[in-house]
Chain A
Amino acid sequence: MISRIYAAVLALLALLIAAPAWAAPIRLWHGYRGDEEKALEEILSRWKGAPVELLSIPFDAYDSKLAAAIPLGEGPDLFIAEAHHLGNYRARKLLAPVTTGDAFDAGVFSPQALAAVTMDGVVWGVPLSQKCLALYVNTDLAREIPEYLEGIAELRGKLPARVLYPLGYEPRQLYSLAALLSAFDVRPLDEHDNYTFVGPHADRAAELALWLVEQRAIPEDADTAQIGNLFRSGQMPFVISGPWFAADLQGKVRYRVAPLPKVRATGKPMRPLLTVESVMLSPQGGARPEVRELARLIASAEAAAVRARLGPTPSARTDVELPEGPARAFAEQARTAIPVPASVAMDSVWEPANQAIRKVLRRDAPAAVALAEGKRRFDDVRRPLPDAASPIPLALIVGAIGVYFALRWLRLAREERWGEGLRRSLPAYRYVAHAVVAVGLLVIAPLAMGALTAFTAGNDEARRYVGLAHFVAILTARGGPLLASGSFYLVLLVTVAWAVINVFFHVVIGVALALLLSRPTLRLKAIYRVLLIVPWAVPSYITALTWKGMFDRQFGAVSALIAWLSKALGLHMEPIAWFSSFSTAFTANLATNVWLGFPFMMVVTLGALTAVPADVLEAAKVDGATRWQRLRLVTLPIIQPTLAPSVTLGTIWTFNMFNVVFLVSGGDPDGTTDILVSEAYRWAFTRQNQYGYAAAYAVLIFLLLSFATRLMNRSPEPAKASKSAPATTEAA
């Protein structure tokens, strides 16, 4: 009896002690990698409450994962993101407000940081750090800093010979261009959500950017890594970049950070954009006091000290002691920086603005024309969504079609004796039943759901039935000229050309190589086979990005190859800017996709060739057929039926090949190399999340492809006739 009481007490104690371990974990999402992630983990090691589940999510998937998971309760309790996404998150109901009081003491944060997380008088996030651009100066090369941007540019020619460019600056991105624009009092978006990167001041700013390029004061195209190399090796004395740039500079070069210069043309200073990283609470997290505690820890001064060790990104807190040097310089610059507007409209500014400035820098159009086109694009994307339509007309039509088909099928059933057919088909059904279930539930159902979205517009509560409005808009090219850039018909033409040319090369190269590899007397066959499927084996996004790098004008391998060839042959070819014109960008995409796709065709053909009976070929040879005749009249007809489905599928996949087009050319120049799928993607993820419109695109793609394959499938009839040929020869 006593022992049982002891056992019960012990069990109770055990339960109590174990209880904290049963506390529901706190989910924290972030986009950090490497050192920043380690810093976060270190900060969290001081947390004594419920266990924290950390999850790092790549930047481009971040928003859509949040939007999908939080409404289902699958999302994080708190997450770290940049404050200018607030407008978007708020609109999608992903946030709980931060209350002043125990979780949050407003006075401790810098005014800009606070402004960045406040919307409509409510605070939606706790600021952590603030990032903006400033001027890096190589102190060995430059004793003094010119007062004006134009002054830095004019240093060209006065610096040591090994200096390639005086300044590293990236005017092709709105993010860094905005600093230049601010000196002309131009902002990308005003308080009323109007696109203001247009007009005479904006034109002058764009022309100044072009002047910088033409003066060879800045590299025409170079990415952060290349600029970093140039700065470190003393080939570039000034660089305009952010705190992240300092990570690779430690100990390799002597430098300091200074505020951005002024612009002589207006006498005003360059003011960079400010992004504020902050901790935000989801609705489910906001309901738990513990989560708010955790948010406070992450934004605390101790945490800021941990982050300060990583690099010169200044904290958003004003009570943190910053070390001498870059961190203080960035904090100083942040005081005049302009926070990125948090309104939802801002998401739609980047694409048209980037396209506009790139057009100017490519000298494809004068500034006034290119910038005006940017505004048109923005306005077009921001067009209000169609109003709710009555579902009755569609319901009537669907009902009528349904009745028609029902009657027709009843008649067919009677005529073709479906009842009997069903009974006879039962043994066959046993073979196919499970496939039908699997495919029906997991392939067809999601596609149907996705397709239905095409008839709706708006997200979450604003979602409404709009009938065929999206389809009409797409097919009328949104009211613009039929072949204007971005119009459905232009993109369709590009996509068809893309698919046809690709498949042509896939088949020709694949079949040719397969034939070579099936020669019985060829040695090293196995080695060749393994090496030739390497393009297929490596994941396509890896190689797409590699090819993109290879087509880089200055540093890519393809350019190096062309340069070597042109020297060897005595020509004098200029380096080609692959992504500045449609034909070369298309070729770059094509080369990548052909490289990716020929192994598949080769392998399928190899498999098909195993079915070519040797005795048939013997018989043909005995009958006097030459090698080419045997190829044309025996082998090819035999393998055609096996190849046909693969060619059809290959065409379909190429038609929908998103990875290559998106990663290699990215639609450059100006969205002209976009195919239907990548265009649909942009509508879904970069243009106000217009999922309904993108779904309409998907439905149209589907209809086009089914129509096309129906046409293509008329031709295999002759193949059936020749399939019986070997049988008769064998019987002979």
Chain B
Amino acid sequence: MKADLTHGVATERPSLFESIASHFVLVLAVAFALYPVLWVVSLAFSTTRPAGGGLLPIPHEPTLAHLEAVVLAKRTTVDGTSWIFGRQLANSLIVSLATAAVGVVIAIPTAYALARFQFLGKERGVRALLATQMFPTVASAIPLYLILNALHLLNTRTGLVVCYASTSVPFAIFQLRAAFEAIPVDLEEAAMVDGATRFEAFLRVVLPAARPAIAVTALFAFMSAYNEFILAATLLGKEEMFTLPVVLKRFIGEYNADWSKFAAGAIVVSVPVMALFYVAQRHLVAGLTSGGVKG
């Protein structure tokens, strides 16, 4: 029987009943997952919010007006008209990509060191790292504002990236450490026996083997930066610098919330992330220890 590298539990052909049952459960899960999102979609394309809530999320008097209003939003200032939404979308994408890259780059060597080495202060460091996750972010918003102000990084994308990357590093370290620990040491030792230094073994053997985990970690860092609102609202003061969550939140005022525009914006905000995930998820399956070390 062909050696099947897609892991899990079952390695033989399932019965018809099992197939149908699996699909049924999955379809139910997908319906549960998608229903609220479909509501948002139908709201974005409805001319007005239907007074009586229907069961089916079908747009009421379909229209593209809200989508246009959000995506084509322009801003007229003394310097002329600019496509402000495009600028804000770019901000979000740039900041999130940079966060993912920087966060992962900082985390990888640290995670490796935690997985492979014993060193002074290791246990305490890990505990401190875990501890940072336990503080509510609300408490650090104002202090971060003051620190970034001192570094002249307020209102800049760099400042935001620096904050997001740092806050995503602890989680990334934990994920990657677990992934590195799951890779057998024998692989590096085999490489070192063949003449590579530890660092070369790290680069050429361990990293490719950990590609699924790295992809997931980068994706997570991207998404937490992309969806983050509190810090962005606090640290950014100019409309051209805003990221999308801040823009979206502004549609919901105290008394008159523009739900349709909000919903339209929500769709536009979500599409890049979902596209990215579709691309990244192929890496989840790749990079197994095919023919690594056999006992």
A residues sitting closer than 8 Å to B (CB atoms) are 31, 33-34, 41, 51-61, 64-65, 68-69, 72, 74, 224-226, 229-230, 233, 242, 244, 247, 418, 421-422, 424-425, 427-429, 431-432, 434-436, 438-439, 441-447, 449-451, 509, 513, 515-522, 526, 528-543, 545-547, 549-550, 552, 554-557, 559-561, 564, 595, 599, 603-604, 606-615, 617-618, 621, 627, 630-631, 635, 641-642, 644-646, 648-649, 652-653, 656, 658, 677, 680-681, 684, 691, 694-695, 698, 701-702, 705-706, 709, 727, 730-732
CB atoms of B245 and A541 under 8 A apart: yes
Given contacts A560-B53, A731-B295, A609 and B8 within 8 Å (CB-CB): yes
For A443, give its contact among B13, B145, B167 (CB under 8 Å): B167
For A612, give its contact among B8, B36, B138, B258 (CB under 8 Å): B8
New A-B pairs, 7, CB < 8 Å, besides A534-B34, A535-B37: A61-B233, A224-B255, A538-B40, A545-B252, A610-B284, A627-B9, A644-B178
- Which of chain A's residues have a CB closer than 8 A to the CB of B138? 658, 677, 680-681, 684, 694, 698
CB atoms of A74 and B154 under 8 A apart: yes
For B216, give its contact among A438, A554, A607 (CB under 8 Å): A607
What distance in Å separates the Cβ of A303 from its nearest Cβ neighbour in chain B?
A: 17
For B110, give its contact among A53, A432, A450 (CB under 8 Å): A432
Q: Which 5 pairs, one residue from A and one from B, show the smallest C-beta to C-beta distance?
A: A518-B8, A425-B119, A446-B143, A442-B166, A450-B139
Jot down 25 A-B pairs with beta carbons below 8 A, ordered by A. Answer: A55-B237, A61-B234, A68-B142, A225-B259, A244-B256, A428-B113, A428-B119, A438-B106, A441-B166, A449-B140, A509-B29, A520-B11, A542-B269, A549-B39, A550-B36, A557-B53, A560-B54, A560-B55, A561-B55, A610-B7, A611-B182, A635-B8, A641-B181, A653-B133, A656-B134
Please, which residue of chain B has its CB at the minimum distance from the CB of A529? B281
Q: Does B17 contact A (CB under 8 A)?
A: no
CB atoms of A429 and B11 under 8 A apart: no
- Which of chain B's residues have a CB closer than 8 A to the CB of A427? 117
Contacts across chains A and B counted by CB atoms under 8 Å: 361
How far, in whole Å, are A353 and B178 apart by their CA atoms in the complex?
51
Given contacts A531-B34, A599-B33, A224 and B249 within 8 Å (CB-CB): no
Interfacial residues of chain B within 113-129, with CB under 8 A of chain A in the complex: 113-114, 117-122, 125, 128-129
How far, in whole Å, are A244 and B118 apart by their CA atoms in the complex?
65
For A431, give its contact among B19, B113, B212 (CB under 8 Å): B113
CB atoms of B39 and A645 under 8 A apart: no
How far, in whole Å, are A684 and B142 apart by their CA atoms in the complex?
12
How far, in whole Å, are A732 and B294 apart by their CA atoms in the complex?
10
- Which of chain B's residues have a CB closer than 8 A to the CB of A526? 278, 281
CB atoms of A537 and B277 under 8 A apart: yes
For B270, give its contact among A538, A556, A607 (CB under 8 Å): A538
CB atoms of A226 and B51 under 8 A apart: yes
CB atoms of A595 and B32 under 8 A apart: yes
Given contacts A538-B270, A606-B284, A730 and B294 within 8 Å (CB-CB): yes
Given contacts A450-B135, A641-B181, A443 and B170 within 8 Å (CB-CB): yes
CB atoms of A520 and B248 under 8 A apart: no
What distance in Å separates the Cβ of B172 from its nearest Cβ neighbour in chain A?
A: 10
CB atoms of A247 and B11 under 8 A apart: no
B residues sitting closer than 8 Å to A (CB atoms) are 3-14, 19, 22, 25-26, 29-30, 32-37, 39-40, 48-49, 51-55, 57, 76-78, 106-107, 109-110, 112-114, 117-122, 125, 128-136, 138-140, 142-147, 149, 154, 162-163, 165-167, 169-171, 173-175, 177-179, 181-182, 184, 212-213, 216, 223, 226-227, 229, 233-234, 237-239, 245-246, 248-259, 262, 266, 269-270, 273-274, 277-278, 281, 284-285, 287-289, 294-295
How far, in whole Å, are A479 and B175 apart by their CA atoms in the complex?
44
Given contacts A516-B25, A541-B245, A614-B5, A59 and B253 within 8 Å (CB-CB): yes
CB atoms of A443 and B166 under 8 A apart: yes
CB atoms of A51 and B78 under 8 A apart: yes
Please, which residue of chain A has its CB at the minimum distance from the CB of B251? A33
How far, in whole Å, are A432 and B109 apart by their CA atoms in the complex?
7
CB atoms of A535 and B130 under 8 A apart: no
CB atoms of A449 and B6 under 8 A apart: no
CB atoms of A68 and B145 under 8 A apart: yes
For A539, give its contact among B8, B147, B266 (CB under 8 Å): B266
How far, in whole Å, are A604 and B202 apart by their CA atoms in the complex?
23
- Which of chain A's residues have a CB closer than 8 A to the CB of B113? 428, 431-432
Overall SS of chain B's interface: helix
How far, in whole Å, are A214 and B249 apart by their CA atoms in the complex?
36
Given contacts A446-B147, A539-B248, A530 and B277 within 8 Å (CB-CB): yes
How far, in whole Å, are A627 and B145 apart by their CA atoms in the complex?
54
What distance in Å separates the Cβ of B70 from its nearest Cβ neighbour in chain A?
A: 11
CB atoms of A537 and B274 under 8 A apart: yes
What distance in Å separates the Cβ of B43 from its nearest Cβ neighbour in chain A?
A: 8
How far, in whole Å, are A264 and B268 apart by their CA atoms in the complex?
52
- Which of chain B's residues have a CB closer than 8 A to the CB of A642? 178-179, 182
Given contacts A52-B78, A230-B51, A556-B53, A443 and B213 within 8 Å (CB-CB): no
What distance in Å separates the Cβ of A570 from its nearest Cβ neighbour in chain B?
A: 18
CB atoms of A618 and B11 under 8 A apart: yes
How far, in whole Å, are A474 and B134 apart by their CA atoms in the complex?
19
For B274, give its contact among A530, A635, A648 (CB under 8 Å): A530
CB atoms of B51 and A444 under 8 A apart: no
CB atoms of A447 and B135 under 8 A apart: yes
How far, in whole Å, are A97 and B295 apart by their CA atoms in the complex?
82
CB atoms of B34 and A520 under 8 A apart: no
- Which of chain A's residues have a CB closer than 8 A to the CB of B147? 441-442, 445-446
How far, in whole Å, are A140 and B184 apart by their CA atoms in the complex?
80
How far, in whole Å, are A58 and B117 apart by their CA atoms in the complex?
48
Given contacts A540-B227, A606-B284, A431 and B162 within 8 Å (CB-CB): no
- Which of chain A's residues have a CB closer than 8 A to the CB of B48? 229
How far, in whole Å, are A441 and B203 apart by their CA atoms in the complex?
28
CB atoms of B119 and A530 under 8 A apart: no
What distance in Å separates the Cβ of B41 from its nearest Cβ neighbour in chain A?
A: 10
How far, in whole Å, are A614 and B36 apart by their CA atoms in the complex?
38
CB atoms of B179 and A603 under 8 A apart: no
How far, in whole Å, are A61 and B274 apart by their CA atoms in the complex?
29
- Which of chain A's residues have a CB closer than 8 A to the CB of B107? 435
CB atoms of B216 and A604 under 8 A apart: yes
CB atoms of B248 and A72 under 8 A apart: no
CB atoms of A649 and B174 under 8 A apart: yes
CB atoms of A541 and B135 under 8 A apart: no
What distance in Å separates the Cβ of A313 from its nearest Cβ neighbour in chain B?
A: 12
CB atoms of B237 and A74 under 8 A apart: yes
Given contacts A434-B106, A535-B33, A537-B274, A555 and B51 within 8 Å (CB-CB): yes
